[in-house]
Amino acid sequence: MKVYFIGAGPGDPELITVKGKKIIERSGYCIYAGSLVNPDILKYCSKDARKYDSASMTLEEIIAVMEEAKAKNEDVARVHTGDPSIYGAIQEQMLELDKRGIDYEIVPGVSSFLAAASTLKQELTLPGVSQTVIITRIEGNTPVPETEGLEILAKSKATLCIFLSIKEINKVVDILKPVYGAYCPVAIVYKASWKDEKVIISNLNDVVDKTIQNGIKKTAIIIVGDVLSKNFEYSKLYDKHFKHSYRNKS
Ligand code: SAH
């Protein structure tokens, strides 16, 4: 018996890994993060699987279901949105499983910031512009360490992928404008890869108004950075004047 922490991907039920889907199909239990996991993913469950929406459960209740599965020698598909390692609250679940000697494994998933980049048809790391992607958030119920405040991260001028912060878009803009400049491009992707996905392409000056006009209040990624302006140098990777270990002939 094992508990599998599975990344369900950003929404589109075809964006789960083959491995994750197979585990869901054969598990007797499925505990899913109902607030964000697309219900279509649950169609992969076997008809006899016991399903639990973790959105309304406490950690103790989640662990109790996992213990019950262990007693019955049944696998558990613990389905998280995107990739479980990003704001997934899996560490405490794993710690509790360690205490109980319950075996587990993680199956990665496509994080929503990657789905957002795909929607935008955008490379996040452009030569001459930015070679760094920062995943961060504005403080909410969960505090952000002082040394990681957005005003500090902004100094790098790296590509920012800001999770869990769309409600605070005002604050994000106020912090970033002095460093990135009022006309730095911003993209907001709401429900990337879902059927009701929405995209706003804007800049730090206008993005707050556009977000309000579009009624976007949750489930969105904010991407900020000059990569979105697409002024960049071509990569050396496919440059005919550049040789590397896979292409020695010019
Ligand atoms: N583990 C998830 C993130 C969970 S935190 C992942 O890897 O994507 C929840 C936040 O993720 C949301 O507030 C939103 O910022 C973002 N999010 C999740 N799914 C999204 C989607 N399909 N499109 C845009 N943002 C999404």
pLDDT for 249: 56
Structure tokens belonging to residue 161: 């992928």
Domain boundaries, the chain: 3-107, 112-229
C-alpha 167 to ligand 1 mean position (Å): 13
C-alpha 32 to ligand 1 mean position (Å): 15
CATH of domain 3-107: 3.40.1010.10
The CATH number of 112-229, from 3.40.50.150, 3.40.50.2300, 1.20.1250.20, 3.30.950.10, is 3.30.950.10
C-alpha 220 to ligand 1 mean position (Å): 7
Q: Is 191 in the pocket of ligand 1 (CB under 6 A)?
A: yes
Closest ligand 1 atom, residue 83 Cα: 7
Q: Are residues 2 and 77 in contact, defined by beta-carbon separation less than 8 angstroms?
A: no
C-alpha 249 to ligand 1 mean position (Å): 43
Q: Is 117 in the pocket of ligand 1 (CB under 6 A)?
A: no
Which residue, among 217, 218, 223, 194, has the nearest Cα to 8 in the 3D structure? 194
* Confidence grade of residue 234 (pLDDT, cut at 50, 70, 90): confident
Q: Is 83 in the pocket of ligand 1 (CB under 6 A)?
A: yes
Angle between helices 91-99 and 59-71 (to 10 degrees): 50
d(CA 204, CA 208): 8
Position 121 pLDDT exceeds 60: yes
Closest ligand 1 atom, residue 163 Cα: 15
pLDDT in tens, 131-167: 999 999 999 889 999 999 999 999 999 999 999 999 9
pLDDT in tens, 34-83: 999 999 999 999 999 999 999 999 999 999 999 999 999 999 999 999 99
C-alpha 76 to ligand 1 mean position (Å): 23
Q: Is 10 in the pocket of ligand 1 (CB under 6 A)?
A: yes
Site of tokens 């639990």: 52
